[in-house]
Amino acid sequence: DAKTTQPPSMDCAEGRAANLPCNHSTISGNEYVYWYRQIHSQGPQYIIHGLKNNETNEMASLIITEDRKSSTLILPHATLRDTAVYYCIGGGSNYKLTFGKGTLLTVNP
């Protein structure tokens, strides 16, 4: 699995877009980029995943660079309930997800 690098913490104002970066320079061609988040004492919540193309769903957008060495998760209008640890993970063909330390996003009122 590709190793990913994320900032340990970020702050965002409520109502603003939250842009969470992730570096995955060692990702291989068939590995997806997955994003999950974990709110304290709960299981990780799936957000979005992608391979090459940018993706969007009801929760977020995922922007993957053309060389696939980095990506950005965008929460368009952050709310207080989006405060969580966000994990960016490179998922291999065996679908074993290795969690790093993630980014603690704090949305401030």
Please report, as residue ranges, which positions from 61 to 100 form the binding site for other proteins (by CB under 8 A): 87, 91, 94-100
Chain center to CA of 60: 9
Establish if 34 lies at the interface with other proteins (CB under 8 A).
yes
Please report, as residue ranges, which positions from 40 to 59 form the binding site for other proteins (by CB under 8 A): 41-46, 49
- What the block records as the tokens of 7 is 């900032």
Q: Least separation, in Å, of the C-beta of 6 and other proteins? A: 11
Distance CA 102, CA 85 (A): 6
Distance CA 20, CA 8 (A): 11
Give residues in contact with other proteins (CB under 8 A).
32, 34, 36, 38, 41-46, 49, 87, 91, 94-102
